[in-house]
């Protein structure tokens, strides 16, 4: 049976934990709002980019001169998986669920006899993958821990790294893994193929985009110019979604933690009061029996 | 014929400007051209240069862009630029930083890309001169 002092200490420590988790939850809520705003603000560019490149891609697809970024290298033997996770933990299953998806993907590809290479963005994913996939994890790692506000520059440098390696012929297919933000309680880990470019073949838009639009200088050169930008844009969108998801996940994880701490404090307080009452009763019995003995 | 069209200037991070315009002058890949309402649909890549927009009320605004592309449709003109600044002397430093990077790239560029890289540098130099 713990003494009164022990109980008091434990209650105090849980109380300070609750204060911390509560503060973290509020910070995450504020950051989430900012991250959502950033994701929202980036949407017009990404949407236009996708319509334009999508329309062009459909027009050029199948033709001999289609750029490699669109048509692929003709093989799908070597895969690059870009796993984007957070730099920090304490955000529930956020990092784990992304890593899990990437791992399943890697195992499946390996089962098919393909070569898999993993590149990581964000420290947490790297730490986890080191344990599960030490052989496929290269030295490629992008550290975003110093980045306060995600900018297009960050995405651009990642994209340039990937594109450079593609040009060198290091891989055939690149897929990015990130969590798509749905709501504070739900973030969906997503795999998205970025090289070769993957566009939905929706009939309507294909027809619309195909109508009489002139391309200057030419369809091929516009496409060759736009595809690398499209890759960077996709990565940027993924980074922003990821940032919002991370804060959302942290917010709900910290909300849970705060609630659990509250429950624990209630239980401990009850136990504390009981123990105190028991001590008082024992003391009274001792006094009364002492008085009777006189 | 419509008098105005919609003009959007969008960067990857956010929408920078959006209003009704009478005409938009663009530094297209094949030379400067002006888009007016009901222009035939065109998608063009942009060179570094000034985008000059005449708003519906006649006010003229110019932006310095360092590349990107423009989409001209029935509905209006959209400029998608990776970086765009209001073309004032205050923002010259930003473009100059960009020019430095482009110069370095041009020096390192392999033979077959060298011409294009130097063209980019020339365009940037011109752009800085145009920014008042």
CA distance B103 to B120: 9
What's the pLDDT score for residue A175? 93
**Mean pLDDT, all residues of chain B:** 85
pLDDT confidence band for B113 (50 / 70 / 90): confident
Q: In angstroms, what separates the C-alpha of A152 from chain B's closest C-alpha?
A: 6
A162: domain CATH number?
3.40.1380.10
Q: Which of B7, B9, B12, B77 to mutate to test the interface with A (most CBs of A within 10 A)?
A: B12
User: Residue B42 and residue A213: Cβ atoms within 8 Å?
Assistant: yes
Q: In angstroms, what separates the C-alpha of B60 from chain A's closest C-alpha?
A: 24
Please indicate, yes or no, whether residues B27 and B75 belong to a single structural domain of this protein: yes
More confident residue, A147 or A4: A4
Q: How many domains does chain B have?
A: 2
Q: Is residue A144 scored above 90 in pLDDT?
A: no
What does the block give as tokens for A14?
A: 């849980």
Domain annotation covers residue A30: yes
Please indicate, yes or no, whether residues B73 and B14 belong to a single structural domain of this protein: yes
Task: Choose from A121-135, A156-170, A267-281 the range with maximum mean pLDDT.
Answer: A267-281
Contact with chain B for residue A236, Cβ under 8 A = yes
What's the pLDDT score for residue A59? 75
Q: Of residues A82, A91, A101, A257, which has the active-site annotation?
A: A91
CA distance A222 to B67: 12
Range of the domain at A205: 22-253
Please indicate, yes or no, whether residues B70 and B118 belong to a single structural domain of this protein: no
What's the pLDDT score for residue A202? 53
User: Residue A236 and residue B29: Cβ atoms within 8 Å?
Assistant: no
Q: Is residue A283 scored above 60 in pLDDT?
A: yes
A169 Ramachandran zone, left/alpha/beta (phi>0; psi -120 to 50): left
What's the pLDDT score for residue A200? 60
More confident residue, A82 or A142: A82
Percent of chain A with pLDDT over 70: 94
User: Residue B29 and residue A49: Cβ atoms within 8 Å?
Assistant: no
What's the pLDDT score for residue A39? 92
More confident residue, A47 or A136: A47
Listing DSSP states for A52-118 in one string gives HHHHHHHHHTTSTT--HHHH--S---EEEEEEE--SS--STTHHHHHHHHHHHHHHHHHHTT-EEEE
The mean pLDDT value for A209-222 works out to 74
The mean pLDDT value for A215-234 works out to 86
Domain annotation covers residue A287: no
What's the pLDDT score for residue B1? 54
Contact with chain B for residue A168, Cβ under 8 A = no
pLDDT confidence band for A207 (50 / 70 / 90): low
Please indicate, yes or no, whether residues B76 and B31 belong to a single structural domain of this protein: yes
Lowest pLDDT segment from A207-211, A213-217, B3-7: A207-211
| pLDDT tens-digit readout, B97-109 | 888 888 888 787 7
Please indicate, yes or no, whether residues B57 and B19 belong to a single structural domain of this protein: yes
Please indicate, yes or no, whether residues B31 and B79 belong to a single structural domain of this protein: yes
Surface-to-core class of residue A215, CB atoms within 10 Å of its CB (0-12 exposed, 13-18 middle, 19+ buried): buried
Report the interhelical angle of A123-132 vs A94-111 (nearest 10°): 40
Q: Is residue A185 scored above 90 in pLDDT?
A: no
The mean pLDDT value for A79-94 works out to 91
Please indicate, yes or no, whether residues B30 and B56 belong to a single structural domain of this protein: yes
B43: domain CATH number?
2.60.15.10
Task: Choose from A70-79, B74-83, B92-101 the range with maximum mean pLDDT.
Answer: B74-83
What's the pLDDT score for residue A60? 74
The mean pLDDT value for A252-280 works out to 95
Range of the domain at B26: 5-86
Is A45 an annotated catalytic residue? no
Domain annotation covers residue A54: yes
The mean pLDDT value for A91-99 works out to 92
From the list A56, A151, A216, which residue is nearest B30 (CB)? A216
pLDDT confidence band for A62 (50 / 70 / 90): low
**Of B57, B37, B59, B33, nearest in space to B46 by CA:** B33
A-chain residues near B45 (CB < 8 A) = 216-217, 221-222, 225-226
| pLDDT tens-digit readout, B3-60 | 889 999 998 888 889 999 999 999 988 888 899 888 888 889 998 888 999 998 888 9
Domain annotation covers residue A76: yes
Number of CB pairs < 8 Å for A and B? 73
Contacts of A166-171 with CB under 8 Å at 24 or more apart are A166/A68, A166/A69, A166/A195, A169/A73, A170/A78, A170/A80, A170/A117, A171/A78, A171/A79, A171/A80, A171/A117
Domain annotation covers residue A263: no
Q: How many domains does chain A have?
A: 1
Please indicate, yes or no, whether residues B19 and B75 belong to a single structural domain of this protein: yes
Domain annotation covers residue A258: no
Report ipTM (2 d.p.). 0.84
Task: Choose from A80-89, A130-139, B84-93 the range with maximum mean pLDDT.
Answer: A80-89
**Mean pLDDT, all residues of chain A:** 88
A-chain residues near B29 (CB < 8 A) = 216-217, 221
The mean pLDDT value for B64-93 works out to 85
Please indicate, yes or no, whether residues B14 and B37 belong to a single structural domain of this protein: yes
What's the pLDDT score for residue A211? 59
What's the pLDDT score for residue B86? 83
Domain annotation covers residue A47: yes
Interface of A with B in 216-235 (CB under 8 A): 216-217, 221-222, 225-226, 229, 232-233
B-chain residues near A214 (CB < 8 A) = 40-43
Please indicate, yes or no, whether residues B18 and B44 belong to a single structural domain of this protein: yes
User: Residue B14 and residue A232: Cβ atoms within 8 Å?
Assistant: no
Lowest pLDDT segment from A139-153, A236-250, A261-275: A139-153
Lowest pLDDT segment from A140-144, A280-284, B12-16, B109-113: B109-113
Domain annotation covers residue A223: yes
User: Residue A152 and residue B42: Cβ atoms within 8 Å?
Assistant: no
Q: Is residue A208 scored above 60 in pLDDT?
A: no
**Residue of chain A minimizing CA distance to B67:** A225
């Amino acid at each position: 049976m713990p003494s009164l002092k022990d109980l008091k200490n434990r209650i105090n420590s849980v109380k300070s934990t609750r204060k911390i988790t509560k503060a973290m939850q509020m910070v995450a809520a504020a950051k989430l709002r900012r991250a959502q705003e950033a994701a929202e603000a980036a949407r017009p560019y990404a949407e236009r980019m996708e319509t334009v490149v999508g329309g062009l891609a459909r027009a050029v697809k199948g033709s001999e001169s289609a750029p490699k970024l669109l048509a692929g290298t003709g093989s799908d033997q070597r895969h690059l998986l870009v796993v984007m996770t957070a730099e920090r933990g304490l955000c529930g299953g956020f990092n784990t669920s992304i890593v899990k998806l990437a791992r399943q993907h890697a195992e499946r590809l390996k089962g098919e006899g393909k070569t898999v290479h993993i590149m990581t963005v964000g420290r947490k994913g790297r730490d986890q993958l080191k344990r599960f996939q030490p052989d496929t994890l290269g030295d490629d790692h992008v550290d975003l821990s110093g980045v306060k506000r995600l900018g297009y520059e960050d995405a651009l440098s990642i994209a340039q790294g990937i594109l450079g390696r593609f040009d060198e012929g290091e891989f055939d297919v690149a897929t990015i893994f990130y969590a798509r933000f749905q709501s504070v309680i739900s973030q969906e880990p997503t795999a998205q193929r970025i090289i070769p470019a993957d566009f939905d073949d929706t009939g309507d838009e294909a027809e619309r985009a195909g109508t009489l639009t002139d391309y200057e200088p030419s369809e091929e050169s516009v496409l060759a110019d736009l595809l690398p930008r499209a890759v960077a844009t996709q990565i940027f969108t993924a980074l922003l979604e990821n940032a919002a998801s991370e804060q959302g996940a942290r917010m709900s994880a910290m909300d849970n933690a705060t609630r659990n701490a509250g429950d624990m404090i209630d239980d401990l307080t009850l136990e504390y009061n009981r123990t105190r009452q028991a001590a008082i009763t024992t003391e009274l019995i001792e006094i009364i029996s002492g008085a009777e003995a006189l | 014929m419509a008098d105005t069209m919609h003009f959007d200037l969008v960067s990857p991070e956010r929408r920078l400007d959006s209003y009704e315009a009478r005409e938009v002058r663009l530094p297209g890949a094949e030379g400067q051209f002006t888009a007016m309402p009901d222009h035939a649909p065109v998608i063009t890549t942009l060179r570094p240069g000034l985008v000059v927009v005449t708003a519906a009320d006649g006010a003229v605004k110019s932006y310095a862009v360092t590349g990107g592309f423009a989409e001209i449709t029935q509905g209006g003109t959209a400029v998608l630029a990776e970086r765009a600044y209001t073309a004032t002397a205050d923002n010259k430093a930003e473009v100059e930083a960009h020019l430095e990077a482009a110069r370095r790239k041009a020096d390192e560029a392999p033979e077959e890309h060298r011409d294009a890289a130097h063209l980019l540098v020339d365009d940037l130099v011109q752009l800085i001169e145009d920014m008042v």
